[in-house]
C-alpha cells in the first residue's frame, strides 16, 4: 500500500488551473505523475468542502500512476458563483460542465469519485454519461435513484428527519449566509461542520435542526482541520461567500425536472449504473441510514460496499483506511499501479 501523504499546495506536482466551460469559469487542481499516466481520476468534493478536500487522495492516486483532476464545484473556491437563477447549480448542469472539462483535458473516459454532494453528482454523471465512466467511487452518500414524483425538502424531512438540517441550509431567508458574512463567521461555521465541540462535548450541528449558532462561538477547534487547513478554507470561502454552496439545497426541484427523462414513458435513458462501483460508507455519519444504502442496490449491479468507522469526513479522518480500500478494489478490477 502507498505511504500516507498529505498534499501541500506548494507541491511541485500540483497545478492550480482555471477553465471556461459553458460560459462559467471553474477552478481546479491538476496533478500528473512525472512518469506519465494511462488513466485519469476525476474527484468531486461535497458541502462545505473544496477541491483540497482530496488532499490525502491526490498523492495516493499519483502514486498509483494516475492523473488527478479535482474541480471546485460551482460557487466554491476558485470557481464562479452565478447570481440570480439557481439552475446552474443543478446536478445535471454541473455534470455537463465537468464532462466538458474532462473532454477539454483530453479524457476519453475517467475513473470518477465523489464525496457527499460530490457523490450525488458523481452517481448522476454516471447516469448522464454512462460510457465515459469506467469505474465509480462513492464516499458516504449512496446513489439515490431518480423519482417519478417530486418531494420538497419539507416533505422529505417528514419522511426522513435526519435530513432536517437541509431546511436551514437551503432556507429562503438565507440563514447560513446571514451568519457567514465575515471571516470569523465563516470560520465558526466551518469549525461546527467539521466537528468542533464545546468543552463539555456538545456539537453545534444536529441532523434534525442544522446549526445552533448560539453555540458556535463556544466551540474548540475541530481535530479534523489544522489551523493552516482552516485558514485556507476561510480564505477560499471569503471570496464569494456561502450563497453558491447553499444553492445546492435550493435546486432540488430543478434536479427533479432534469431527471424526468429517466422515468418518463418513451424515455431513452435507463436508471442503472453499469460500471463497477465502490461505495464506502461512513458508519458514524448522522444523515445516512442503512435503508438509504439498501435503496441503491437494485440500480448498481456491479457494486462493492465497504464500511469504515468514521464521521462524515471520511477522507480526512480515516485517509489510510480509505486509500487501502480503494487500492484493493482497483486491483480487484484489474487496475494496477503503473
**Predicted pLDDT at 40:** 98
For residue 3, what are the contacts with CB-CB under 8 A and spacing of at least 6? Answer: none
Residue 271: the pLDDT is 86
> How many angstroms separate the CA atoms of 109 and 44, rounded?
16
Beta-carbon contacts of residue 23 (< 8 Å; ≥ 6 apart)? none
List per-residue pLDDT tens for the chain, 338 residues long. Answer: 678 999 998 999 999 999 999 999 999 999 999 999 999 999 999 999 999 999 999 999 999 999 999 999 999 999 999 999 999 999 999 999 999 999 999 999 999 999 999 999 999 999 999 999 999 999 999 999 998 899 999 999 999 999 999 999 999 999 999 999 999 999 999 999 999 999 999 999 999 999 999 999 999 999 999 999 999 999 999 999 999 999 999 999 999 999 998 886 555 557 899 999 999 999 999 899 999 999 999 999 999 999 999 999 999 999 999 999 999 999 999 997 65
Structural domains in the chain, sorted by start: 14-332 (3.40.50.1820)
Type and span of the H or E element at 315: helix 314-317
Angle (CA) 222 180 140, round 5°: 50
| Helix or strand (DSSP H, E) at 96 | helix 91-104
The pLDDT, as a whole number, for residue 47 is: 98
Which residues are designated catalytic?
116, 312
**Within the chain, what is the greatest distance between any pair of CA atoms?**
58
Q: What is the pLDDT of residue 44?
A: 98
* Residue 136 phi, psi (nearest 5): -125, 135
What pLDDT is recorded for position 270?
A: 73
**Residue 156: its pLDDT value, please?**
93
Cβ–Cβ under 8 Å, residues 59 and 6: yes
| Residues paired with 44 in a beta bridge | 114
Kindly write down the DSSP assignment for every residue of 201-262, as one continuous string: S-BSEETTTEE-HHHHTTPPPPTTS-HHHHHHHHHHHHHH-SHHHHGGGG-HHHHHHHHGGG
Q: Which residues pair with 41 in a beta bridge?
A: 68, 111
* E runs forming strands in the chain: 14-21, 24-31, 40-44, 67-71, 110-115, 133-139, 205-206, 210-211, 277-282, 303-308
Phi-psi region of 328 (alpha: psi -120 to 50; beta: other; left: phi over 0): alpha
Whole-angstrom distance, CA of residue 254 vs CA of residue 89: 9
Residue 256's nearest CA partner among 129, 90, 88 is 90
Question: Using the 8-state DSSP alphabet, how is residue 47 labeled?
Answer: T
Residues with Cβ within 8 Å of residue 319, at least 6 apart in sequence = 4, 6, 56, 57, 60
The answer to pTM > 0.85 is: yes
Q: Is 152 exposed, middle or buried (0-12, 13-18, 19+ CB in 10 A)?
A: exposed
Nearest Cα residue to 282 out of 303, 302, 306: 306
277-282 and 303-308 beta bridge pairing: parallel
Exposure of 296 by Cβ count < 10 A (0-12 exposed, 13-18 middle, 19+ buried)?
Answer: buried
Tell me how far CA of residue 215 lies from CA of 47, 189, 191, 192, 244, in angstroms.
21, 10, 11, 9, 25
Ramachandran quadrant class, 22 (left: phi over 0; alpha: psi -120 to 50; beta: rest): left
Amino acid at each position: 500500500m502507498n505511504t500516507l501523504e498529505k498534499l501541500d499546495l506548494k507541491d511541485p506536482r500540483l497545478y492550480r488551473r482555471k477553465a471556461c466551460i459553458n460560459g462559467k469559469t471553474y477552478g481546479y487542481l491538476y496533478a500528473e505523475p512525472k512518469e506519465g499516466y494511462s488513466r485519469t481520476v476525476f474527484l468531486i468534493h461535497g458541502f462545505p468542502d473544496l477541491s483540497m478536500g482530496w488532499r490525502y487522495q491526490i498523492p495516493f492516486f499519483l502514486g498509483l500512476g494516475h492523473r488527478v483532476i479535482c474541480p471546485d464545484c460551482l460557487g466554491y473556491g476558485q470557481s464562479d458563483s452565478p447570481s440570480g437563477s439557481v439552475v446552474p447549480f443543478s446536478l445535471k448542469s454541473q455534470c455537463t460542465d465537468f464532462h466538458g472539462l474532462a473532454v477539454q483535458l483530453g479524457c476519453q473516459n475517467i475513473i470518477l469519485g465523489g464525496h457527499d454532494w460530490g457523490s450525488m453528482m458523481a452517481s448522476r454523471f454516471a447516469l448522464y454519461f454512462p460510457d465515459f465512466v469506467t469505474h465509480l467511487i462513492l464516499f458516504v452518500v449512496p446513489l439515490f435513484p431518480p423519482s417519478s414524483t417530486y418531494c420538497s425538502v419539507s416533505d422529505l424531512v417528514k419522511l426522513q428527519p435526519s435530513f432536517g438540517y437541509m431546511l436551514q441550509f437551503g432556507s429562503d431567508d438565507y440563514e447560513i449566509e446571514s451568519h457567514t458574512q465575515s471571516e470569523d463567521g465563516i470560520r465558526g461555521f466551518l469549525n461546527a461542520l467539521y466537528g468542533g465541540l464545546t468543552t463539555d462535548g456538545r456539537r453545534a450541528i444536529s441532523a434534525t435542526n442544522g446549526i445552533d449558532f448560539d453555540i458556535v462561538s463556544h466551540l474548540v477547534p475541530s481535530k479534523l482541520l489544522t489551523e493552516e487547513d482552516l485558514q485556507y478554507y476561510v480564505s477560499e470561502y471569503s471570496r464569494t461567500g456561502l450563497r453558491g454552496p447553499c444553492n445546492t439545497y435550493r435546486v432540488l426541484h430543478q434536479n427533479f425536472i432534469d431527471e424526468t427523462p429517466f422515468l418518463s414513458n418513451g424515455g431513452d435513458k435507463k436508471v442503472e449504473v453499469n460500471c463497477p462501483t465502490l461505495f464506502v460508507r461512513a458508519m458514524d455519519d448522522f444523515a445516512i441510514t442503512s435503508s438509504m444504502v439498501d435503496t441503491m442496490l437494485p440500480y448498481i449491479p456491479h457494486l462493492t460496499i465497504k464500511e469504515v468507522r468514521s464521521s462524515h469526513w471520511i477522507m480526512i479522518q480515516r485517509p489510510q483506511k480509505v486509500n487501502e480500500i480503494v487500492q484493493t478494489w482497483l486491483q480487484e478490477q484489474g487496475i494496477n499501479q503503473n
